Structure 1
Amino acid sequence: MTDYATPPAGLPGQNVMSTDRAMFTTAYAVIPHGVQRDIVTSYLPGWHDTRLWVLARPLSGFAETFSHYIMEVADGGGSTTPEPEGDAQGVLFVVAGTGTLTVAGQDHAIAPGSYAYLPPGCDWAVKGESGPLTFHWLRKLWVPGVGLEPAAAFVTSEADGTTVEMPGTDGAWSTTRFVDPGDLRHDMHVNIVNFEPGGTIPFAETHVMEHGLYVLEGKAVYRLNRDWVEVEAGDYMWLRAFCPQSCYAGGPGRFRYLLYKDVNRHMPLRPL
C-alpha cells in the first residue's frame, strides 16, 4: 500500500533552527511540511473532533479559484453538514486512517487512496473511525457552461484511477486521472502526477491554470518562476496563473504529488 505524506503536527523543540524553505512570492508559495504544526491548525463550524491545515484559499491578486485543506478527524469525529456553500464542489483524497463517507444516503468505507468527487448541492457526510482519518479537501465554486449540468458524485480510489503516460516519456512521467479530461462538466481536475527517478518536465510550463501541488511521496527539484526549489513529501506548492514550472525528479525513489488545476471554462471579462 502506498505510504502518503501527512502533516507532522506537534511543535519543534526549542533547539531547532527556525530557518526553513517556506516562502511566499508574487508568483508562487511553498509551504513545507515542517511548518504544518499544531499551532497553525484551524477549526470549522459544523465539524466536531476535527482540525485542519489550510494550505490554499482564494486570495485577491494571487490564486483565486480554490481552497485546499488537510482535514484531520478523530475517531467518531466528522460532520453531517460539511459544506456551507451550495454552489461549491469538492474533491476528497484520503491519506491516513479510515472512516465512512456518506453520499446521498449511501455509505462508503474510505481508507488511504480513497477519492471522492462531490458536486455542488451534494448531500454528504463523513465520520472518522480509526486514525485519525486524514484527507485532502479541495473546494471550488462550480462555473456553469452552456448546455452543462454538474457531474454526478462518485467515490473511487487511486488503485482504480486511469494512469496515462505522458507522450514520449516511456513511463518516466505519468498522470493518474479520475475524470475524463474531455468531460466539460468538470471545471477542475484533481489528479496524481507520477515521476520515476530521473523523470522530468522538460520545459517551463507557462499557462493559465492555477495550481496546487501537495507532494505525496519522494523528493525533487521544482522550478517555480525563476527559482529552483527543493521539495519533498508533505510539502505544498501554490502557483498563480502563468507561473512557469518544471521539474526534475532525481530519485532515489518515485516523486508523486496531488495536483489541482482549474480547466474547461471561458476567462471571465468582468468580475463574477
Structure 2
Amino acid sequence: MGYYVPRGGLPAQTALTTDRARFTESYAVLPARTMSDITASLLPNWTATRLWVLARPLTGFAETFSQYIVEVGAGGGSDRPEVDERAEGVLFVVDGELELGLDGATHILEPGGYAYLGVGSEVTLHNRGAGTATFHWIRKAYEEVAGIGRPPSFVTHERDVAAVEMPDTNGAWRTQRFVDPTDLRHDMHVNIVTFEPGGAIPFPETHVMEHGLYVLEGKAMYLLNTDWVEVTEGDFMWLRAFCPQACYAGGPGKFRYLLYKDVNRHAPLWR
C-alpha cells in the first residue's frame, strides 16, 4: 500500500507555469504541486503544524465538507483540534505516527490508520516522534435526524477493512468501506477506491452526491463533466453534485484514491 505525501517546497523559478489546475462551476482539480510552502495555512490551538486546505464550504464550490492535508512536526499537535461543536470528522494517516486521544483512550495511528470522530468526541492529537507526520482530515457538520442516534467514534486501519469488488469487474475495481452503507446514523462516507491497471468506471456516473477525491497512488484519465483530465498521485478533485464522472486507470500500478461523499439524508430545501 502506497500513500502520496506532500512535502511542500517551491517550484524552481525556471519551472513552467502551465499546469493541470482547473476550477470550474462543476469540478476543480488541484494538482500535487499546488501543495507548496506559499499555499500552506496554520490553525489556532495547534503547534508545529501546517496544512493545505483542499476544499471548504464556499459559494460555487464545496457545499457539504472541508478537507485538509495536515503536516505535524516533531512534538507538535493539539489538545483541542476541533473548534466546531457540530462537526464530525475522519482522519486518515499517510506518513509518520500520531498519538490520538479519543474519549479517554489512546491510539497510535500509523500510515493507513483511520479514525472516525463523532460529534462531541473528546480528542487530542500529537506527534511524539522525531519526524513529521501527515494525515488527511475531512470535516462535516453532522445532520441530526430525530429517532436516529449519532454514530460512535472508532479507530481502524486500512489493512483490516476488506475490499469489496464492484459487480462484474473481476476485481479490477474495488472499494474499502469503513462503515456499513446501511447504517443510517452516518451522513458521510470516506472510502478508499482501488483500480487495477486498465480498470475503469465504464459510464458517466451522474448523481446527487458531492465528492472529494485525493489520489493516494497511481495515475488515471478522469472524466469530469465534459473534460478528460489526466490525474496522478497527490492530485485532489472536487466534484459538484450531478457532475458526470468516469475513469480509466493508467497503470503500470494500482490507481487508488480517498473518496468523500455525503449520504443518507434528505435533500435540504433551504439553507
- TM-score class, shorter: over 0.9
What is aligned with 2:189? 189
1:66 alignment partner in structure 2: 65
Q: Answer whether contact 1:8 1:34 (CA < 8 A) is retained.
A: no
2:36 maps to 37
Secondary structure of the structure 1 residue equivalent to 2:4: coil
Q: Secondary structure at the match of 2:127?
A: strand
TM (norm. structure 2) is: 0.98
Is the CA contact 1:198–1:249 (under 8 Å) kept in the aligned structure 2?
A: yes
Shift of 1:82: 0.6
- Post-superposition Cα deviations, 1:220-248, rounded to whole Å, max 9, x if no partner, equal 00000000000000000001100000000
Matched, 1:93 2:92: yes
Establish whether residue 210 from structure 1 lines up as the match of residue 201 from structure 2.
Answer: no
Bigger shift: 3-12 or 253-262? 3-12
Distance in 2 (CA, whole Å) between partners of 1:86 and 1:149 is: 16
Contact 1:8 1:33 in 2 (8 A): no
TM-score, with structure 1 as normaliser: 0.98
> Which residue identity is paired with 1:27?
S
Contact 1:46 1:81 in 2 (8 A): yes
**Aligned residue number for residue 250 of structure 1:** 250
1:266 equivalent to 2:266? Answer yes
How many angstroms apart in 1 are the aligned matches of 2:220 and 2:109?
29
- Superposition deviation, residue 162 in structure 1: 2.5
**What percent identity do the matched residue pairs reach?**
63
Aligned-pair CA distance for 1:145: 1.5
Deviations 1:158-207 (A, max 9, x none): 00113100011010001011100000000000000000001000100000
* Alignment map for 1:98-117 (pairs within 5 Å): 98-117=97-116
* 1:140 lines up with 2:140 in the alignment: yes
Partner deviation per Cα, 1:84-115 (whole Å, 9 max, x = no partner): 11010000000001120010111101110000
For 2:265, the aligned partner's letter is R
Q: Distance in 2 between matches of 1:250 and 1:12?
A: 26
Q: Give how far 1:61 is off.
A: 3.0
Post-superposition offset of 1:129: 2.4
1:232 maps to 232
Amino acid at match of 2:59: S
> Residues 56 and 69 of structure 1 are in contact (CA less than 8 Å); yes or no, is this contact kept in structure 2?
yes
Deviation at 1:9, TM superposition (A): 0.7
Per the alignment, residue 5 of structure 1 pairs with 4
CA positional deviation for 1:149: 1.4
Greater Cα shift, 141-150 or 183-192? 141-150
The DSSP-based 3-state class of the residue aligned with 1:215 is: strand
Deviation at 1:146, TM superposition (A): 3.0
- What's the CA shift for 1:147? 1.3
Total equivalences in the alignment? 270
Identify unmatched segments of 5+ residues in structure 2: none
The one-letter code of the counterpart of 1:83 is E
**Residue identity matched to 1:96:** D
Partners of 1:36 and 1:209 in 2: how far apart? 26
**Secondary structure at 2:159's aligned position in 1?**
helix
Contact 1:94 1:114 in 2 (8 A): yes
Root-mean-square deviation (CA), in Å?
A: 0.8
